[in-house]
Amino acid sequence: DGGITQSPKYLFRKEGQNVTLSCEQNLNHDAMYWYRQDPGQGLRLIYYSQIVNDFQKGDIAEGYSVSREKKESFPLTVTSAQKNPTAFYLCASSMGGASTDTQYFGPGTRLTVL
């Protein structure tokens, strides 16, 4: 089955801890994205990567870090510097490049800071 997987589904973090959210895709997509979703605010872009070993900051990158060592994988680390990390995190991927590019989403990870 082709698709995007995210793990874990639910994650609880104590204040001061770093946590890493996994995102894997087997769609052979070049581009991958991380979004954060808060109630009433839609989706906001954290980081994106158009190609392996390259990534750029989105609109709300502070307190987050990413890596793109393999085409299939784009993990997101939520660091202790992120002041309000409790949210629903969505990973997406797309072919990349064209103005008609469509992003496809994974099932999300819900992160709660205790």
Burial of residue 62 (number of CB atoms within 10 Å: 0-12, 13-18, 19+):
exposed
Q: Which residues bind other proteins (CB under 8 A)?
A: 4, 31, 35, 40-45, 48, 50, 56, 58, 90, 94, 96-108
Q: How far apart are CA 32 and CA 48, in angstroms?
A: 6
Taking alpha carbons only, the member of 28, 12, 26, 23 closest to residue 48 is 23
Q: How far is the CB of 26 from other proteins (least distance, A)?
A: 15
Q: How far is the CB of 83 from other proteins (least distance, A)?
A: 22
Taking alpha carbons only, the member of 7, 19, 4 closest to residue 63 is 19
Q: For residues 84 and 102, which CB has a smaller minimum distance to other proteins in the complex?
A: 102
Q: For residues 63 and 108, which CB has a smaller minimum distance to other proteins in the complex?
A: 108
Q: For residues 82 and 109, which CB has a smaller minimum distance to other proteins in the complex?
A: 109
Taking alpha carbons only, the member of 89, 42, 43, 100 closest to residue 64 is 89
Q: How far is the CB of 99 from other proteins (least distance, A)?
A: 4
Q: How far is the CB of 53 from other proteins (least distance, A)?
A: 15
